[in-house]
Structure 1
Amino acid sequence: MSDYANSQRRKRSSASSRPSDNTRTTSTKTTPYSGNFEQKLIDTGIYPNLYEHPDGRLSQKPANLSEIQAAQRVSRASLSPSRFTDDDFEAFQRANAKASAETTGMYNVLPFIAGNEATHRLEMGLPFGNLKPFDNDLSDPRPDVYHGAALSTIHPRVRADLGPYIIPSTVDLTRPAAPNFFVEGKSAQGRADVAKRQALIDGAMGARAIHQLQNYKAEEPKYDDKARSFSATYQAGTGTLQLYAHHLTKPLTPGGEPETHMTQTKAFALTSDKDTFVRGATAYRSDRDLAKTERDSSIAHANQVARQMPAPSPNTSLTTSRTSQSTAVVTGSDTSEDELARDEVAPVKRVRPSAASSVSYSSATGRDGRPASGAPMAISRAPLAPPQNTTSTSRRIERLSGEGSISSSTSHTRTGTNGALIERRSDLSRQSQSVQGSGRGRQTRPMVEVNSVRMRHNDESGWCVEHQAKSIFVADSQWTDYEKDGRPAFYCARLHVFTYRPTGNRRR
């Protein structure tokens, strides 16, 4: 058995082990198993593949259909003959033949099709209980698998404004947000028509989410008729993989809701032969990666709009019930893990290990905003990017003392475990700074400049700062853009501190 086949043994979390989630689904809701489910979607302007309207017009195809299909044909190194062998294909056939139950089938069969997904964020069996329904009579979508982005990659303002469109669950904020790639699987006894209806509403949710991000704060929404949401259905009984694209078109009437169209892009009988399997798996992975590219691009656009908005006053928090105070902004790679090896980064050790006991992590709150354990947490994480080059090993830093006198201290640099230079100041520079509020004039409050080091903590990125004799991790979402003495800086309202932005091309 090849390394590829062995890599498929990576365990996935079972949907049955997930905690209960907020959901509107009840026994009276119309589900994809109901005969009128599809009609209710049609009545709201969500059309299945090849739908013909009563007036004879056909459901529109996406403007980028040819580009999608061209990408689906591009070969992938992970599916080359040397890496996906005849033995691997036979293992897939055997796993498919044993897929007597839906959950078991997804667990055992999908890894062959999807490959290594270490760089992708996915969730299984999560009810979309927080997303705005298309019709209140419809049950909440619950995809077998969906892909999305880490909530921490989305600006807090965007999360607060677009939560009902991009955040599937508010119970656990670690679940992926802005979903736009979905998989619905059925066992040999499962109904293919139900899988298609499930994919229809899944893909519509994804298309709406991406459209909301792309048009964040826009005066008039724009429609380019391109598909940026994708879905797949797999029927183990026939070994059939079907791929779909979903896109929005402008409302037919002013002030109306946009229409959503589902278009089949490809279909494959994966169990027939190895060549067909390779072409099908290639198309599947291409759609998944294209969805990630579109998702990341749309999030980046919305984040940029949010950053250009007037800064909130220091006493104003952007955190809502849907946002965690400790979340951070991390930009993931567009390259699939099954194509390139992951770049590993050596962890950076603390400058003063003895100070670990004084670390404060986001005001003692966990990732979900609940109080963390009482034990202090030491930070020893890999940096998101290499620290800046330093031309000298020490420099003088002036500090305004509490008595009003000026004292000096020395800032040193040292070499981390990965060979990079890390600068730490032994004292804090305290100043009085005029803070510009959002349309509220100027306020004069004491502000502290702190030294910062780029860090990763619990899959979050941010800055480790020294403040009040403590090393505190402050996630990216708690910083706002600021200007001090004509230099770009970041400001943290919670601690009322600021730090100058690094020069060069490093990004926060």
Structure 2
Amino acid sequence: MSCNLKRKLCVEAEPATDSSPPPTAKRRKLENQQRHRTPSSFWDNLSRLWLTPRALREFDRRTVWPAAPVPPERTGKEDIDLVQLKRFARHGGPSLDHLRAYPEPETAAPSNRMMDSSQSGSRKRAKISDTSSKTRKSSAYDPNFEQHLINNGIYPHGYDHGDDNGSVYPDNWEEINEMLAQPRPSLSPSRFPREAFRKFEKTNMQALTENRVMSKAFPIIAGTVDIPSQENLYFGNLKHLTDGSITKAKPDFYDGSRPVELDKHIREELGPYIVPSTNTAAPCLPNFFTEAKGPNGSAPVCKLQAMYDGALGARGVHELRSYVGQETPFDNKAYTITSTYHGGTGDLTIYSTHPTPSNDPQNPIEYRITQLRGWKMTDIPETFRQGAGALRNARDWAKEKREELITAANGKVPDTEHSDLVSSTQSFVSLSSNEPIHPESDTSADELALNIDTFACSSRRTPVRHRMNPPSKAPSNRRVKKAAIGINKRSGMGSGGS
């Protein structure tokens, strides 16, 4: 074999070795996968793991694969065999140990392939994971999301608790259902005839995406009422409901109260529980949610999202009820309602969410989601009237519960403004002079003490007599000190009257 042919074979075989970096596009793809991976804590805390593509990628990332065997050196001038050449390239190609400055290949000992977060991946994956800092948190689209919520004490409707003690259903379950069944005058056959139902059917059928369902079909069901609400608002201000390994909620629709209705001190103290958005103008204390999907959307995902929303709303209501100071904040009653609507099937389902105490020290509060009613909105006009009426009644009921709770909470806010002002004034006076201050007239030399006393009187909101010639501004401590020294020299008196 000629030297040129040997050199050509070596050049073609070199890119297959471990030392050469992968192509730019492949490296970029691997970096993106590592950058958007789920945190390790999410997988470690699952009691049951579903075999999904993301779970397999996490398994591969944590698995240490044995290093490729070192290929034998090619010493002879045997004839070229294409099959052997491909096999030779797969095993790393020619040895480059004789080249100057060539690094020694790293060897990794085989280990068990158990899924342990302390293990690192292969050499290539380890290099990529070191440079990546961002992770993608799990969402309701991951089949392991529901298991994660269950492990953290958030149970879906129909979950088998084993030792059911009657707390699965809220005590006001019948009361809520009776409220949902109340007729709405706006949905009577005279005001909502068959033609209006046919129009809804057409609108719902033409809504091919989730956005169109929420903007066109859902408003017909929800009606037009004066309730503060928002759509697709990211709940970035709320504290994590679990361990922080799942995404924060972003409901398709929710009702809340105007922030001005709730005292500022309460909003500041309970903000991570009742103020959902960093935009302070958004409605607070949400306790009614709706999640929707288009014709191609997943109904189980929609249910999981509503389950997540309801737990967040029930937690906020529970925190505010605890602030009010009730003796039994766990009254086993629901004050939060969620609903789901699927545009493809026309199914509307309404759920309630209520908190219960837990024996788990890590999760002292559990949240249970219970189904209330369900309707197929595209069935007949009467079914639509029942479903739409129930949804509108649920919004009014949730608003009523919010107003009652906000009124009770505002009444518990202590009047700290007056006490803080008086205490700060007394401290300021005590620091100004070590002697008791008793101003006797408007011509007293200690004008600073007069000003302080007047300020203290005004803080108590009592009328103060108008002085003849009030000073334009309070004198400095240096000027007061000099005036006091001069008086002592002239009259031998203290800092009392003139």
Superposition TM-score tier, normalisation by shorter sequence: 0.5 to 0.7
CA contact (8 A) 2:332 2:354 kept: yes
Instruction: Give the Cα separation in 2 of the matches to 1:299 and 1:159.
Output: 11
Aligned to 1:456: none
Shift of 1:53: 2.3
Q: Aligned letter for 1:68?
A: I
Instruction: Give the Cα separation in 1 of the matches to 2:255 and 2:145.
Output: 24
- Alpha carbons of 1:189 and 1:114: their partners in 2 closer, same or farther (altered >3 Å)? same
Instruction: Give the Cα separation in 2 of the matches to 1:275 and 1:254.
Output: 48
Shift of 1:314: 4.0
Larger radius of gyration: 2
Matches within 5 A, 1:193-272: 193-216=300-323, 218=325, 222-252=329-359, 256-272=363-379
1:97 to 191, 205, 225: 205
For structure 1, the 5+ residue unaligned runs are 1-23, 318-403, 405-431, 436-442, 448-481, 486-508
Aligned to 1:281: 388
1:181 to 274, 285, 288: 288
Does 2:291 correspond to 1:291?
A: no
Q: Aligned letter for 1:203?
A: G
Q: Can you list the C-alpha shifts for 1:445-487, whole angstroms capped at 9, x where unaligned?
A: 646xxxxxxxxxxxxxxxxxxxxxxxxxxxxxxxxxx8758xx
1:87 counterpart SS class: helix
CA contact (8 A) 1:186 1:234 kept: yes
Shift of 1:310: 7.1
Matches within 5 A, 1:307-386: 307=414, 311=418, 313-314=420-421
Aligned to 2:159: 51
CA contact (8 A) 1:141 1:201 kept: yes
Aligned to 1:346: none
CA contact (8 A) 1:202 1:231 kept: yes
Q: Aligned letter for 2:456?
A: T
Q: After alignment, is 45-54 or 106-115 more displaced?
A: 45-54
Instruction: Give the Cα separation in 2 of the matches to 1:484 and 1:445.
Output: 6
Instruction: Give the Cα separation in 2 of the matches to 1:31 and 1:133.
Output: 13
- Structure with a larger share of its residues in helix: 2
- Structure with a larger share of its residues in strand: 1
- Alpha carbons of 1:250 and 1:484: their partners in 2 closer, same or farther (altered >3 Å)? farther
Instruction: Give the Cα separation in 2 of the matches to 1:169 and 1:316.
Output: 35
Aligned to 1:444: 456
TM-score between both structures, scaled by the size of structure 2: 0.57
Instruction: Give the Cα separation in 2 of the matches to 1:162 and 1:116.
Output: 30
Q: Aligned letter for 2:299?
A: A
CA contact (8 A) 2:171 2:332 kept: yes
- Alpha carbons of 1:255 and 1:141: their partners in 2 closer, same or farther (altered >3 Å)? closer
Shift of 1:126: 0.6
- Alpha carbons of 1:253 and 1:186: their partners in 2 closer, same or farther (altered >3 Å)? closer
CA contact (8 A) 1:53 1:59 kept: no
Question: Number of residues paired by the alignment?
Answer: 307
Instruction: Give the Cα separation in 2 of the matches to 1:197 and 1:125.
Output: 16
Aligned to 1:40: 148
**In percent, how many aligned pairs have the same letter?**
37
1:280 counterpart SS class: helix
Q: Aligned letter for 1:224?
A: D
Does 2:261 correspond to 1:153?
A: yes
Instruction: Give the Cα separation in 1 of the matches to 2:423 and 2:394.
Output: 41
Q: Can you list the C-alpha shifts for 1:64-115, whole angstroms capped at 9, x where unaligned?
A: 0000000111101111112112111111000110111001111000111011
Instruction: Give the Cα separation in 2 of the matches to 1:316 and 1:32.
Output: 52
Q: Can you list the C-alpha shifts for 1:392-426, whole angstroms capped at 9, x where unaligned?
A: xxxxxxxxxxxx9xxxxxxxxxxxxxxxxxxxxxx
Q: Aligned letter for 1:99?
A: A
Does 2:273 correspond to 1:165?
A: yes
Shift of 1:40: 1.1
TM-score between both structures, scaled by the size of structure 1: 0.56
Q: Aligned letter for 2:330?
A: Y
CA contact (8 A) 1:146 1:181 kept: yes
- Alpha carbons of 1:223 and 1:92: their partners in 2 closer, same or farther (altered >3 Å)? same
Shift of 1:297: 1.1
Q: Aligned letter for 2:290?
A: V
